[in-house]
Structure 1
Amino acid sequence: MVDATAFYQAAVDNGIDLICGVPDSLLKDLSAALHENAAKDQHVVVPNEGAGIALGTGHYLATGHTPLVYMQNSGLGNAVNPLVSLTSQDVYQIPLVLLIGWRGQPGKDDEPQHRLQGRVTIPLLETLEIPSRLLPSDTAAAAKCLGESVATAKARSGPVAIVVQRGTFDASSGTDIVTNGYELSREDALLAVVGSLDSRDAVVVTTGKASREIYEHRQSLGPIGPKQEFLSVGSMGHASQIALGVALGQPDRRVFCLDGDGALIMHMGSLALIGSSAPLQFVHVVLNNGCHESVGGQATVGFEIGIPEIAMACGYSASASVSNVTDLTNSLQGFREIEGPCLLEVRVSATARKDLGRPQEPPSAGRDDFMEFLRL
């Protein structure tokens, strides 16, 4: 396995003085090493993968140094536009190294949302005319691979990619990076929200552990009726727009979006569209733990910005921030008495149960159940 700290040192030795990206579970041990060793201006967790490409481009323009941008392969979709219209050899010819975690790799078991992306990762890089190679699982060979990739990026004046398979980095660096002082767990907050729902309320849940926690709660109840929750097992950052689509399609139904801080920040422009669309029965609950907890605990800027204030500036009719169940319940009750859209930030701890399960049914079954509920 590759020693993550040694890999970071190899990056420094090859003249890389900016490493930025969106955290990925396959790269969480590298993220831990970066957190421990890199200065703040040398390692930046960006809101989305396209922003990482753009940040790396600016760094190259300012310094002439090749940056490294890391991401999960699912983030390639966010990165395609700047890769082809900014950094490519046909445009500004920006040398940079992509480090891509390969979820859904063919032949390896993975969740449904990763399977297609896993199959198309290498073909997509070929279509984008980005040379790629697999990162070796030996530390010395991995360092050599990184050095050769930097040289290739410089020689071709364009991006190159290193694809990382599951289990490549040594887990000895540790994982959880961020803790905070909040006692309320996300799961307890979610259960409080679900407990406040009326039978016709529709719920769209963001990807990651929030959806898994809601799924387990639903399973514990048994077959008691139509499922009023749509679990976004993939498409990070888009749950609020799915919820907005539901709200605009059925304006007489109250719609809840259960979001996360990392997901919200990834596509923050969605707040402006929700505010300007003014769905009167839209409730946006942002579970803010200040980190990407599902993939290792790397910090977001969730605690450094005013999410309720941003929502109000975007046209939401009301917002609040809470950190306990009593205030959460009271705020949701108050939102029922006014026209939306409303946003509730719930500050929660950066923890989750170790035995948290995953949905066992195919996502299409969840789609059918939710659509059946919406017909009622």
Structure 2
Amino acid sequence: MLSTKIFGEELRKQGFTFYSGVPCSFLKSLINYAINELEYVAAANEGDAVAIASGAYLGGKKSVVLMQNSGLTNAVSPLTSLNYSFRIPILGFVSLRGEPGIPDEPQHELMGKITTQMLELMQIGWEYLSENIHEAREQLVRANEAIDNQKSYFFVVRKGTFDSEALKNQTQSVSQNYEKKTKRHDDQSPSRYEALATINALRDQNTVQLATTGMTGRELYEIEDAACNLYMVGSMGCVGSLGLGLAMSQPQKNIIVIDGDGSLLMRMGSLATNGYYHPNNMLHILLDNHVHDSTGGQNTVSHNMDFINIAASCGYARSIYVHNLQELKEEITAWKFNQTHTFLYMNISRKASELTGRPKIKPYEVKERLRQNIKNATTEVILTEKHSKKHFAQSGTGYNDEKC
């Protein structure tokens, strides 16, 4: 049996400090350790956990996901179309419920037989995690090498692998909505292209824009291909969770998540997670045209939804109905000035741009470019702070590093 604390410290030494996941009894000790000692984001589902961890990786953090093997099926979409396509590596721990020959609940029987086959089909390297700490250290070295080569790596965890780690007292933060504006007059219903152009025109050097899959990403690319943009492919519904991970790992950056109705409806549990952790540097914009535009214009059910009240009840500090492009501009400007976790909803027309093609830059190139952009911006901030400290010290203003 592994000492959870010692193994957790070995993970920390390798640089893994950001965790996200969904509980499993086989992994509860490692989850407890992450909650007690590190940064852990409790996701609504396993696919969201993968996206959250991936967002943290974009922000420069080595990330871990924890899940039951039944939830591995829920993570297939982001693992195959987000992590694989963008070459975003994460370290995964998946339990082996339903292991052949070991009594378990009937719902785990099939997954116990096919868990490792699924990992192989997804071209994810994996090992059974050893209960011997010396062997486990060697396994972590191999896993870390895979991560450095931009490949995800998973450990399959059998029952009784980790020793007990007590969960310390948890303090639950309370996220509350304090400003809500519902529909007050008729909608302008501009095209998505016009809305994206308005959003992009307000972008500054401190802004990152994440555009959901389909026409949203394609049209943003047509408007301006920038190093601070990410155009989602596949992994539908994951852009909000990706934004959460990035916002939490890069609190000094302005993270704008541009979502669509079909996408958000697919993973609405992410709203509750985003609202609970409520990073003030994250702006979530929903452009709702009530259809699946890139697949033929089939109706969604968004006409029957009240996204403003839903976001407000999930804990977004501000949940605002936007009627026209001028209001959109005003609300984005207000968010940048006030830095409060905000959800904006806007009805758009069903008309797509006739100019829309697919990005000519590959997803993994988009990822590398974005990470470098974030890294360069962070370096500039550090250099600016150092220069400011030197200036204050030389000017005799009594600048104190310990207070800044």
TM-score normalised to the size of structure 1? 0.51
Which of 198, 201, 218 is residue 224 of structure 2 equivalent to?
Answer: 218
Q: In 2 relative to 1, CA 253–262 (structure 1 residues): closer, same or farther, beyond 3 Å?
A: same
Structure 1 CA distance for aligned equivalents of residues 270 and 319 of structure 2: 16
Which of 205, 208, 215 is residue 209 of structure 1 equivalent to?
Answer: 215
Specify the SS of the correspondent of 2:224.
helix
Paired residues for 1:52-201 under 5 Å: 183-201=189-207
Paired residues for 1:160-309 under 5 Å: 183-219=189-225, 227-309=227-309
Identify the residue that residue 354 of structure 2 maps to in structure 1: 354
Displacement of 1:331: 1.5
Displacement of 1:77: 8.6
- AA matched with 2:304: E
Structure 1 CA distance for aligned equivalents of residues 249 and 77 of structure 2: 28
- AA matched with 1:198: D
- AA matched with 1:296: G
Displacement of 1:76: 12
1:323-362 per-position Cα deviation (integer Å, ceiling 9, x unaligned): 3211111111222233421000111001112341101122
Q: In 2 relative to 1, CA 262–242 (structure 1 residues): closer, same or farther, beyond 3 Å?
A: same
Displacement of 1:364: 0.9
Does the 8 A contact of 2:254 with 2:336 survive in 1?
no
1:300-324 per-position Cα deviation (integer Å, ceiling 9, x unaligned): 1212111111111011000111232
Structure 2 CA distance for aligned equivalents of residues 241 and 284 of structure 1: 11
Structure 1 CA distance for aligned equivalents of residues 242 and 266 of structure 2: 15
Structure 2 CA distance for aligned equivalents of residues 340 and 242 of structure 1: 18
Does the 8 A contact of 1:274 with 1:341 survive in 2?
no
Specify the SS of the correspondent of 1:369.
helix
Across the aligned residues of Structure 1 and Structure 2, the Cα RMSD in angstroms comes to 3.5
Does the 8 A contact of 1:322 with 1:328 survive in 2?
yes
Structure 2 CA distance for aligned equivalents of residues 76 and 370 of structure 1: 19
Structure 2 CA distance for aligned equivalents of residues 244 and 306 of structure 1: 22
- AA matched with 1:283: L
Identify the residue that residue 134 of structure 1 maps to in structure 2: none
1:92-134 per-position Cα deviation (integer Å, ceiling 9, x unaligned): 9xxxxxxxxxxxxxxxxxxxxxxxx9xx69xxxxxxxxxxxxx
Does the 8 A contact of 1:317 with 1:339 survive in 2?
no
Q: Does 1:327 align with 2:327?
A: yes
Structure 2 CA distance for aligned equivalents of residues 186 and 354 of structure 1: 12
Does the 8 A contact of 1:203 with 1:243 survive in 2?
no
Specify the SS of the correspondent of 2:263.
helix
Specify the SS of the correspondent of 2:368.
helix
Q: In 2 relative to 1, CA 76–338 (structure 1 residues): closer, same or farther, beyond 3 Å?
A: closer
Structure 2: unaligned runs, 5 residues or longer: 1-46, 48-75, 82-97, 99-105, 109-117, 123-186, 378-404
Structure 2 CA distance for aligned equivalents of residues 289 and 257 of structure 1: 17
Structure 2 CA distance for aligned equivalents of residues 183 and 273 of structure 1: 29
Structure 1 CA distance for aligned equivalents of residues 342 and 79 of structure 2: 32
Does the 8 A contact of 1:184 with 1:349 survive in 2?
yes
Structure 2 CA distance for aligned equivalents of residues 345 and 354 of structure 1: 24
Structure 2 CA distance for aligned equivalents of residues 356 and 260 of structure 1: 17
Structure 2 CA distance for aligned equivalents of residues 216 and 76 of structure 1: 27
Does the 8 A contact of 1:323 with 1:348 survive in 2?
no
Task: Determine what percentage of the aligned residue pairs are the same residue.
Answer: 31
Q: In 2 relative to 1, CA 238–74 (structure 1 residues): closer, same or farther, beyond 3 Å?
A: closer
Structure 2 CA distance for aligned equivalents of residues 298 and 213 of structure 1: 19
Specify the SS of the correspondent of 2:244.
helix
Structure 2 CA distance for aligned equivalents of residues 218 and 273 of structure 1: 31
Specify the SS of the correspondent of 1:360.
coil
Does the 8 A contact of 2:210 with 2:230 survive in 1?
yes
- AA matched with 2:205: S
Displacement of 1:91: 5.8
Structure 1: unaligned runs, 5 residues or longer: 1-49, 51-72, 79-84, 93-116, 122-180, 220-225
- AA matched with 2:250: Q
Displacement of 1:275: 0.7
